[in-house]
Structure 1
Amino acid sequence: MLSYRHGYHAGNYADVLKHSMLLQVLKAMQKKAKPFVYIDTHAGAGAYSLEDEFAQKTGEYLDGVAKLWDHDNLPAPLQDYVAAVKHFNAEYDELSVYPGSPSFVDVELRQQDRMVLHELHSTDHELLNEYFEQDKQVKVINGDGLKGLIAAVPPLERRAVVLIDPSYEIKTDYVDVANTLIKAHKKFSTGVYMLWYPVVQREQTEAMLSLLKDSGIKKQLRIEQAIGADSEQFGMTAAGLWIINPPWQTDELARETLACLAPLLGSTNGNVNVQWEVGE
């Protein structure tokens, strides 16, 4: 039985990186008028109250999105990110709500685009379905998102952004995610695949990423931010995005973003890493 609830972690430093880069990928896709589909394998609940017991228990958002809330002179990716979060808090006097990945995408979705959202957790699926029940551009599926991804590609649009953002609460997730991504790429090699990953045990994470590096797939970019040195005692010490087929200049935008984020988030003991693990 799945127990992970993203409400505990909504708006943390990993979300800042993930969602700021997701927005930039979407904006790059919008430069062409042709439609695209956004496929989310682990979509969550849609939005999260930062005042409920989940967020208040951990307070992780205080070391993430809250650190950027009142800052000016941010690089464009972070400006866009903060503006998007403020859009969802327009009726409040302060930071009260954090949008999930599908909500960030929903604001950017054009009439010709659509979303396919998978969520296995029954409670989060119910919330997600309620959030989008009136939106004909969005399909919400209660099921295994990894299996759903294989069924969803290649899409009719022949253009897609795929976000794979599992909880990794099951150890086999690491291998299953890599194998699923490789299978999806074989069926649909031109999609933009964004894999979010945590670093709890570095060896476990790198084993997953090595499967992708050794798969023969071209154009694989690593974007990673650490808040501390690798440790098996500390919990998650770093998080990153592994992007296959990133849009042009994604690497440059990531470097600019992480260079600004590191001091703002106070990650003096960590480091950032943006590099092409596999070229063209």
Structure 2
Amino acid sequence: MNYRHAFHAGNFADCMKHALLVALLRALAAKPAPFRVLDTHAGIGTYDLAAPEAGRTGEAERGILRLLDIEDGPLADYLDLVRAAGAPARYPGSPALTRALLRPQDHLAACELHPEDHAALRAHFRRDAQVSIHRRDGWEALRALTPFPERRGLVLVDPPFEQEGEFDRMAAGIALVSHRFRAAIQACWYPIKHRAPVRAFHTALQDSGTRDLIAAELWLREPTDPQRLNGCGLLIANPPWHFEDQAAAILPALLDRLGQGEPGEGWAVTRVTGE
């Protein structure tokens, strides 16, 4: 309950996660049938990059503020949405980016447990009939709010990883949703501090029998320091057609701007389990 994303909004991990999220949402919107998005750890919706929290860490300066002049290429769609949401003054979180891409027939369900952040999120989407806000634990929401009535959509899981056992909860949640709602796309963010927890996470997913999983990863330095966010990954279950190719274009474009030439920086799109 202590984590506040306002300190980290627009950092390199947000840029990676949200650029891939936009590609996933575009794929869903390519078909006329309605879809729903469940955002399990939604935050407040949009963030003031001039606020003391963002200024204290300066993470946006090493993240989104290095990208805003890009107008073409694989990052253009994402950055058009970010600029439309008010950047560089403000940065849109995943609920705001998702809402921008909903069609009239689509819906967003956003969960936030922190009381102040929940209040801010509810105020942000006040009187929006296409968005429902829940104050509930995101892990519990995976069982309570799936499958969707629309029978297609995206489950976005983006926990703060401030508690022990988050990798285990994520692996269990992916297996649960895959069993209950096979048609859902799942996008689950995780930190890369050092490799051992990530390898164990992927092995747990393989052992669960869950099929059709890929991992898109970006790291800014060799992931050997367990006290530092050296990179991050997005685990995607049931990825859309050609998404692996899209991710393989987005990640190096991000690294080109966000990397600092440190030893071991890189990116990868790998298949964790087969189709």
TM range (shorter): over 0.9
Alignment partners' CA distance in 1, 2:195 and 2:186: 22
Equivalent position of 1:75 in the other structure: 73
1:209 shift after superposition: 2.5
Task: Indicate the residue corresponding to 1:144 in structure 2.
Answer: 137
In structure 2, the partner of 1:271 is 266
TM-superposed CA distance for 1:233, in Å, is 5.4
Q: Distance in 2 between matches of 1:83 and 1:112?
A: 23
Deviation at 1:31, TM superposition (A): 1.1
- Number of the residue aligned with 1:46: 45
Deviation at 1:275, TM superposition (A): 1.4
Secondary structure in structure 1 of the residue aligned to 2:47: strand
1:254 and 1:274 in contact (8 A); partners too = yes
1:184 equivalent in structure 2: 177
3-state SS in 2 of match to 1:214: helix
Unaligned regions of 5+ residues in structure 2, if any?
none
1:213 aligns with 2:212: no
The residue type equivalent to 2:21 in the other structure is L
Runs of 4+ off more than 4 Å: none
C-alpha distance in 2 between matches for 1:207 and 1:18: 21
TM-score, scaled relative to structure 2: 0.96
2:232 alignment partner in structure 1: 239
What does residue range 1-280 of structure 1 map to in structure 2 within 5 Å?
2-72=1-71, 74-76=72-74, 78-89=75-86, 95-232=88-225, 235-269=228-262, 270-280=265-275
The residue identity in structure 1 corresponding to 2:73 is P
Q: Which letter does structure 2 place at the counterpart of 1:58?
A: T
Q: How far apart are 1:218 and its partner, in Å?
A: 1.4
Gap regions ≥5 residues in structure 1? none
Q: State the 1:211 CA deviation.
A: 1.2
1:222-259 per-residue CA deviation (whole Å, 9 max, x = no partner) reads: 10000001123551101010100111111111111112
- In 2, the alpha carbon distance for the partners of 1:210 and 1:102 equals 30
Q: Secondary structure in 2 aligned to 1:221?
A: strand
Following superposition, the deviation at residue 42 of structure 1 comes to: 0.2
CA contact (8 A) 2:70 2:76 kept: no
Structure 1 CA distance for aligned equivalents of residues 257 and 118 of structure 2? 34
Distance in 2, Cα, partners of 1:58 & 1:206: 29
Using the TM superposition, give the Cα deviation of residue 213 of structure 1 relative to its aligned residue in structure 2, in angstroms.
2.3
User: Shift of residue 188 of structure 1?
Assistant: 0.7
Task: Give the alignment's Cα RMSD to 1 decimal.
Answer: 1.3
What is the deviation of 1:150? 0.9
Percent identity between the aligned chains?
35
CA distance in 1 between partners of 2:31 and 2:139 (Å): 28
- CA–CA separation in structure 1 for the residues paired with 2:220 and 2:123: 36
SS in structure 1 opposite 2:208? coil
Please say if residues 146 and 180 of structure 1, whose CA atoms lie closer than 8 Å, have aligned partners that are also in contact: yes
> How many residues were matched structurally?
273
Range 203-212 or range 145-154, more displaced: 203-212
Q: TM-score, normalised by structure 1?
A: 0.94
Q: Which residue identity is paired with 1:224?
A: E
